[in-house]
Chains A and B, each alone.
Chain A
Amino acid sequence: MSQGVKTRRFIEEGWFHDFGQGLSLTGGRCPACGWIYFPTKQVCPACFAPDQGKVPLSTKGKLHTFACSHMGPSGLPTPYLIGFIELPEGIKLFSLLTQCDPWDRILKVGMEMEMVIETIRQDEEGNEIVAYKFRPSRGEPS
């Protein structure tokens, strides 16, 4: 049992990578047909090609739809916000939403969003589990 010192860890180690401009989500890219997807896969689901490449996914996208959940897993304080983010790569990414209070005034379908890396919950020993979320964009549109 770890006492005192708490750690932070990614919910999935393979999701995040610094491609040179800070951490971004790691997508898979098929060298044969060019399809981009998330998370990475063993083969391309479109053409079955092996040896898939890795690419940084855009950290900005459009809010396709959203909802406010008043129930959920015990580690996640309610209410919490979820949405689908449409990335420029053509990926619809399911994501928790953050930093948008009051959500029912701020969130609009089609608005620009950007990725942040935040704690989503603590494990049983108090260590922080970290993942991606999206917030209303503060920078340039994608």
Chain B
Amino acid sequence: MRAVAIAGIGGMRFGKYGDRSLRVLGEEACIKAIRDAGMKPREIQLAYVGNLAQWEWGQGLLIGHSVLREIGITKIPITRVENGCATGSNAFHEAWYRVATGACDIALAFGVEQMTVASSEKILNVFTGRQHAERDGDMGNSAPGLFALMARRHMEEFGTTREQMAMVAVKNRKYGARNPEAQLTQALTVEEVLTDRMICDPLTLPQCCPRGDGAAAVVLVAAKIARKYAPIPITVAASVQVSGSYSDTASYTSFDTDVRAAAAAYRMAGLGPEDIDLAEVHDCFSIAEIVHYEDLGFCCKGEGGRFIEEGDSGIGGKIPVNTSGGLLSKGHVIGATGISQIIELVRQLRGQAGRRQVEGARVALQHNGGGFIHTDTASCFIHILRN
């Protein structure tokens, strides 16, 4: 394997873009990333696109080809991937692998999703319908439900409080307000989070990420040619993918995927959690961020509640987490989410994160979990980046 660097990034504010097509959203992000790399579109040798589903209507196939043809990228291999909520990270991982193994020198990875055009019922059906009858929507299953069950068990085993979970939403909104690409930017207090509408007890509305529309893109290049394109190339020190183990003995207070992926990623990078300067983790729900602190080794098992309460995951703390505002502020735009997390870390490592800059950031970790089957996430990706 050879070293791979990120040479260009292209993000956008996630929001409601029902009046634009999936294709146009994808184009915008790809154009930005290619321009950021100072590249011509014809230099791209391979592309992966993350797109989970066409949620309500419209063409659902060949979205990658449709987007790229519009901006002059044709003939090269183009592949769509799907891996639940970690779909975007899967596109990045595949592009990284192709460059790392020498199959090509320059690859594009982008993700695009348009979720606000669909009804909640339709989304629930796409997530839980037909494959596992004992776990489908008719039996009461939902994403907030699964995370509320995890929250209750975590409260019971470790004394984690509703206030501590609310603090995750407060922190992420605070940073979301500093990110021009965040969807929700209004500051919240713990009191406001706790008294907001109950979605699935113990989780209130601000503790559940909104959905949205948008796209995100990055250009990856072989590290040996990175300087040609990027003044500050950001190196991929680890890229890891694992799938769930779905154990019946799991206590449901930890993601086995996280633990295994983190161990592999630290080993690959030759680093440990103590070397991480900041992280973007999959905060689809407030409790998820607390569990990720523990599973990624940022703190001991059961101490995630204290980690947020004592400011350890804030800017100026031990490991600032979700300086972008996280999914809780940006919204979860499934195909684009993972790549959007990587874009935030590249900005931080370039020193271009403005009012949310983590001073002296050298090493950053991205975590993206996808889907939920039984007691575990179905897929999990971890990337470690360094400048």
Residues of A within 8 A of B (CB): 11-12, 15, 37-39, 64-76, 79-80, 82-84, 90-96, 104, 109, 120-121, 129, 131
Contact = CB atoms under 8 A, between A and B. Distances in A.
Nearest to A97: B140
Contact of A11 (B133, B250, B252): B133
B252 to A, nearest CB: 6
Contact of B148 (A64, A69, A76, A95): A69
B156 interface: yes
Contact of B142 (A11, A38, A69, A74): A69
A86 to B, nearest CB: 8
A67 B148 contact: yes
B248 A69 contact: no
Given A67-B200, A70-B200, A109-B152, A82 B141 contact: yes
A64 B153 contact: yes
B121 A92 contact: no
Contacts of B250: 92
A90 B249 contact: yes
B287 to A, nearest CB: 11
Contacts of B150: 65
A92 B248 contact: yes
B138 A66 contact: no
A67 B144 CA distance: 10
Nearest to A109: B156
B156 A69 contact: no
What is the predominant secondary structure among interface residues of chain B facing chain A? Answer: helix
Contacts of B124: 72-73
A16 B201 CA distance: 30
Given A71-B200, A72-B145, A104-B201, 13 more contacts: A39-B134, A67-B148, A67-B202, A69-B144, A72-B142, A79-B201, A82-B141, A83-B149, A92-B252, A94-B135, A94-B139, A94-B141, A120-B139
B199 interface: yes
A88 to B, nearest CB: 12
Interface of B: 120-121, 124, 133-135, 137-142, 144-145, 148-153, 156, 197-202, 248-250, 252, 374-375
Nearest to B154: A65
Contacts of B200: 67-71
Nearest to A74: B121
B153 A65 contact: yes
Contacts of B149: 65-67, 82-84
A1 B198 CA distance: 39
B138 A80 contact: no
Nearest to A104: B201
Given A73-B121, A92-B248, A68 B201 contact: yes
Contacts of A68: 148, 198, 200-201
B326 to A, nearest CB: 21
A116 B128 CA distance: 24
Nearest to B253: A65
Contacts of A131: 138-139
Given A38-B134, A92-B375, A66 B152 contact: yes
A131 to B, nearest CB: 6
Nearest to A12: B133
A65 B144 contact: no
Given A66-B149, A84-B149, A109-B152, A129 B138 contact: yes
Contacts of A73: 121, 124, 137-138, 142
A109 B152 CA distance: 9
Given A38-B134, A39-B133, A92-B374, A70 B199 contact: yes
Given A80-B140, A120-B139, A69 B145 contact: yes
A67 B138 contact: no
B156 A96 contact: no
A67 B141 contact: no
B141 to A, nearest CB: 7
Given A70-B200, A70-B201, A73-B137, A64 B144 contact: no
A12 B374 CA distance: 18
Contacts of A76: 137-138, 140
B132 to A, nearest CB: 8
B248 A91 contact: yes
A103 to B, nearest CB: 9
A60 B133 CA distance: 21
Contacts of A64: 153, 252
11 contacts: A38-B134, A39-B134, A65-B149, A67-B149, A68-B198, A69-B199, A70-B201, A71-B199, A82-B140, A129-B138, A131-B138
Contact of B140 (A69, A70, A93, A129): A69
Given A82-B145, A109-B156, A65 B140 contact: no
A71 B152 contact: no
A64 B197 CA distance: 26
